[in-house]
Amino acid sequence: DRIEIEIDAQPFAYAFSPAASALVIIDMQRDFVEPGGFGASLGNDVSLLQAIIPTCQAVLQAWRAAGGLVVHTREAHKADLSDCPPAKRLRGNPSLRIGDQGPMGRVLVAGEPGNQIIPELAPRPNEIVVDKPGKGAFYATPLHAMLQGQGITHLVFMGVTTEVCVQTSMREANDRGYDCLLVEDGTESYFPAFKQAAIKMIHAQGGIVGWTAPAAPLIAGLA
């Protein structure tokens, strides 16, 4: 399992071995992708995010076929909200606050219907699911220790939203020494201009945060 795959990416080619890499799918939960959840409560049009689901499915299928580790994250708080800072809960003027009862259960609370990964990308029993109280996947979670325990050095990111939880997680990962690739058409924002800007920020300055590439060369490389 030392095979190295090299794919065309920005700002230069990205090389990884599936055995030392994880696919990290950020927050593809109903709260952000379906009407009535947290994303919608903030005033966003969630249909934009639904468009990436087929691409995410295709990458996930190729990754699983190559035998790579898969990590799914969920932005999730404990039922007593002890891990939700008041600053996060009280900011702004959402129609529903974190912990409030909404159409898909309590907003952004672990175990509620809205907090589940969408069925199209449902985790398998052998895959890691990380509940994260912050925007970043490494803050207050066991993710880094789990990845280190499995010898993971490279992370391929997909999910939502590009400039919030995906970019925050990728920056956290970069600072922890991982070589990170963002799948450009496997991520989306409620603000298309922010997605484009985030992609440019990540690979500017010689890959200051990492690499970006479309799904097609990644899928071809894994085949």
From the list 5, 19, 42, 197, which residue makes contact with ligand TIU (rule: CB under 6 A)? 42
Integer-rounded Cα Rg, in Å, for the chain is 17
Residues in region 20-39 near ligand TIU by CB under 6 A: 27, 32
- Given 56, 84, 132, 180, the catalytic residue: 132
DSSP run (H or E) holding 169:
helix 167-175
Q: Which stretch binds ligand TIU (CB under 6 A): 10-18, 64-72, 93-101, 157-165?
A: 157-165
Closest separation in Å from C-beta 75 to ligand TIU: 5
Please say which residue, 7 or 41, places its beta carbon nearer to ligand TIU. Answer: 41
For residue 26, give both structure tokens.
């950020």
Quickly list DSSP for 74-120: EE-B-TT-TTS-HHHHHSS--SS-TTSEETTEETTBTTSGGGSBPGG
**Which pair of tokens denotes residue 75?**
């932005």
Does the footprint of ligand TIU cover residue 164 (CB under 6 A)?
yes
Q: Restricting to residues 165-204, which ones interact with ligand TIU according to CB under 6 A? A: 165, 190
- State yes or no: residue 161 binds ligand TIU (CB under 6 A): yes
Q: How far apart are CA 41 and CA 104, in angstroms?
A: 12
Residue 24: strand pairing partners: 71, 157
Please answer whether residues 69 and 61 qualify as being in contact, where contact means their C-beta atoms are separated by less than 8 angstroms.
Answer: no
Residue 27 annotated to the active site: yes
75 binds ligand TIU (CB under 6 A): yes
Q: Is 1 in the active site?
A: no
132 is catalytic: yes
By CB under 6 A, what part of segment 134-153 binds ligand TIU?
Answer: 135
Nearer to ligand TIU, 143 or 160 (CB): 160
